[in-house]
Chains A and B, each alone.
Chain A
Amino acid sequence: MYTFSSKLKTFSFILMILGILGIGYGFLTAPKTNEDVEKILAANEHGGHHASAAHGEAPAHAEAPAHEEAPIHAEAPKAAVPAKAAPAESHDAATHDVAVKDSVNEVVDTVKVEVVAAPIVHKMEKPVSEAEAHAAHQEHLAHVLHQLQNKPWSALYVACIFFMLITMGVLAFYAIQQVAQAGWSPVLFRVMQGITAYLPVGSTIFFIVLILCGLHMNHMFPWLAKGVTEHGSANYDHIIAGKSGYLNFPFWIIRAAVFLLGWNLYRYFSRRNCLAQDESNDNSFYKKNFNISAMFLVFFIVTESIMSWDWIMSLDPHWFSTLFGWYVFASFFVSGITTICMITIYLKGKGYLEHVNSSHIHDLAKFMFGISVFWTYLWFSQFMLIWYADIPEEVTYFVTRIEHYNLPFFGAVVMNFVFPILILINTDFKRITWVLVMAGTVILLGHYIDFFNMIMPATVGDQWFIGISEISSVFFFLGLFIFVVFSALTKAPLLPKRNPYIEESKHFHY
């Protein structure tokens, strides 16, 4: 039996406390009004912004899909009455001057994003009157305000979905091992079950976050905003209105509940059967597990695809991609396998896994390597097909990412492909603990960045930063993950007793 080391327990508590403090800080320091945003923007303006404006490029303000999507401007109606709110407010002249210039740029940007044609931009630039400019400026402020208010939410959301999906990757891997009747992996089943113990906890928190989104606590899902589907509303968006048969809150939240419940049920019964198999005299529980694993895999692949549309793709409701579900799957599947590998190495290092040898580790490393390449294949296929055809309605997705997220966007490919392929291609390296820990760390960070790239551009646009909110959210969920997983590992022996393949697995060598 495994005993939770007190050091690790303390470490997980420290992570959780630091995380909660940082998350709270993120929410408290998020701007509340347009005036706050104005100050932040002015500060940025005097900071390094002139430098970038100097070389003639349009300032990196407008964030394409979010900006096209009027719905998230809940305060747009106010901005429609420009004259009253005008300079009467206590802005000093200098700020206002900058602000007007800024707003002209903003209009330019908006148009540019929508039409992507320079000449029209210049035509538009002249007839903008002072009042219109001010209205546009207010709209810009409302837009940035929403992005900045989304920041702590998105940070929480990315970390929350990432850790929950890691456990789903492990659960899918576990089910595949059961159904494939793998002879090498039964000695690792209890480790996988320990990791998936995070699923009930993680999915509960995640579900609560989804409900909070539905209660308009944030502006992350543009299609959840008020008035988006109502004709005549300032927020009306005919594209989203057309999708409202699928993207509406009740249907969306019911789907989420069904998916999370289905996954949790499989986890619960699979573990229960596995423990019952230890005490039984025949293989009936093993056979039951085989059957429910096969059914789970069918359920999983359908729900996984829909899940990726619901929870990630619908953040950009004007955009769609057919292989998105697979892409998301590959991302968390490889993260899940990496997590199994890292926790196995940890437990082995502490002397708890007597029958795990370097061949088991080697097999896990091969999966890490192979699925990393598979992720890259899907990443590239999605990117290249859209880049090649360059259809405006699809390509905005990548335009915003390349313009505003250049380093994370391409950095993720380096971390998730170039690094693992060069390190893990060597057979000897796949058996060296420190190499695997290093490669695993890079892969996990890389896939966090991958989820960051999928979610952040839609919610915070160019206002992204990996700062206190983001790091604290990761700390909190990492602490919770460590605490739940290692607590679960203490609840059952780490070696299944009567699995039909356990003897083969104990003597597995490659």
Chain B
Amino acid sequence: MSNKVIHAIYNDDDILMDAVKKTKAAHHHIEEVFTPFPVHGLDKAMGIAPTRIAICAFIYGLCGLTFGTFLMNYVMILDWPQDIGGKPSFSYIQNMPAFVPIMFEETVFFAAHLMVITFYMRSRLWPFKSAENPDVRTTDDHFLMEVAVHNNEQELVSFFESTGAVEVKVIEKHD
């Protein structure tokens, strides 16, 4: 079976938003939308599930807090509890105020970096990755909606032409 998709191209984000809503209302499955900048509300209109990256960041932060606590407890209290300037190194809690800056920074460090790495992995971004750009204009000033064709090519083309698209292309996908 051939793997045909429609590329409907728009030159305004408001028209794009209307087109997305109409497409959803007509029950055509939107494969992907390419935009040069974030369009507010596009994810909601497309019905994309909310991101869970904040939850990841929270858990990473807890890991960082645990690591910072463990590190300072092992180094300063358990391994070699020296008297450094009269600071009480008998138990963790007694010397905790001195460790709080480290615990805090470890929390932020883990939360931030691991969240960013998670983002790269989940959105498949890395150096030397080949770009998946279907039309170079979408990084500049055009918006592109991609919809799969299921033997209804004519109907889809006329549908997208009615949504204000400046260009509607039928493309054979090879992947």
- Which A residues are within 8 Å of any B CB, using their own CB? 380, 383-384, 387-388, 390, 425, 427
Contacts and interface: CB of A to CB of B under 8 A. Distances in A.
Interface string B72-111: 0000000000000010000000000110100000000000
A388 B86 CA distance: 10
B58 interface: yes
A384 B98 CA distance: 7
Nearest to A387: B97
A412 to B, nearest CB: 16
A212 B54 CA distance: 54
Contact of A388 (B54, B58, B97): B97
B97 A427 contact: no
A384 B58 contact: no
A380 B98 contact: no
Contact of B100 (A380, A390, A425, A427): A380
Nearest to B86: A390
B33 to A, nearest CB: 22
B86 A427 contact: no
A169 B51 CA distance: 35
B54 A384 contact: no
A384 B86 contact: no
A425 B58 contact: yes
A388 B100 contact: no
B108 to A, nearest CB: 12
A243 to B, nearest CB: 29
A427 B98 contact: no
B97 A383 contact: yes
Interface centre among B58, B86, B97 (most CB of A within 10 A): B97
A383 B97 CA distance: 8
B94 to A, nearest CB: 11
Nearest to B55: A426
Contacts, number: 12
A508 to B, nearest CB: 14
Contacts of B58: 425
Contacts of A427: 54
Contacts of A383: 97
A425 B58 CA distance: 9
6 contacts: A383-B97, A384-B97, A384-B98, A387-B97, A388-B98, A427-B54
Contacts of B98: 384, 388
A387 B86 CA distance: 12
Contacts of B100: 380, 384
Interface string B41-62: 0000000000000100010000
A93 to B, nearest CB: 44
Contacts of A388: 97-98
B61 to A, nearest CB: 10
Contacts of B54: 427
Contacts of B97: 380, 383-384, 387-388
Nearest to B101: A384
Contacts of B86: 390
B87 to A, nearest CB: 8
Contacts of A387: 97
Contacts of A384: 97-98, 100
Nearest to B61: A425
Nearest to B87: A388
A427 B54 CA distance: 10
B148 to A, nearest CB: 33
Given A383-B97, A387-B97, A427-B54, 9 more contacts: A380-B97, A380-B100, A384-B97, A384-B98, A384-B100, A388-B97, A388-B98, A390-B86, A425-B58
Contacts of A425: 58
Interface string B103-124: 0000000000000000000000
A170 to B, nearest CB: 30
A381 to B, nearest CB: 10
Nearest to A390: B86
Nearest to A427: B54
A380 B98 CA distance: 11
Query: Closest 9 CB pairs between A and B?
Result: A384-B97, A387-B97, A388-B98, A380-B100, A384-B100, A388-B97, A383-B97, A425-B58, A390-B86
A389 to B, nearest CB: 10
A380 B100 CA distance: 9
A383 B86 CA distance: 17
B53 to A, nearest CB: 12
A387 B100 CA distance: 13
A425 B98 CA distance: 26
B40 to A, nearest CB: 11
A387 B93 CA distance: 13
Nearest to A384: B97
A425 B111 CA distance: 14
Nearest to B54: A427
A387 B96 CA distance: 11
A245 B30 CA distance: 76
A385 B98 CA distance: 9
A427 B57 CA distance: 14
A425 B97 CA distance: 24
A400 to B, nearest CB: 17
A390 B98 CA distance: 12
B170 to A, nearest CB: 38
Nearest to B98: A388
A507 to B, nearest CB: 14
Contacts of A380: 97, 100
A427 B98 CA distance: 32
Nearest to A380: B100
A380 B58 CA distance: 22
Nearest to A377: B104
Nearest to A425: B58
A390 B97 CA distance: 12
B29 to A, nearest CB: 28
A427 B100 CA distance: 26
A387 B95 CA distance: 10
B9 to A, nearest CB: 30
A422 to B, nearest CB: 10
A148 to B, nearest CB: 33
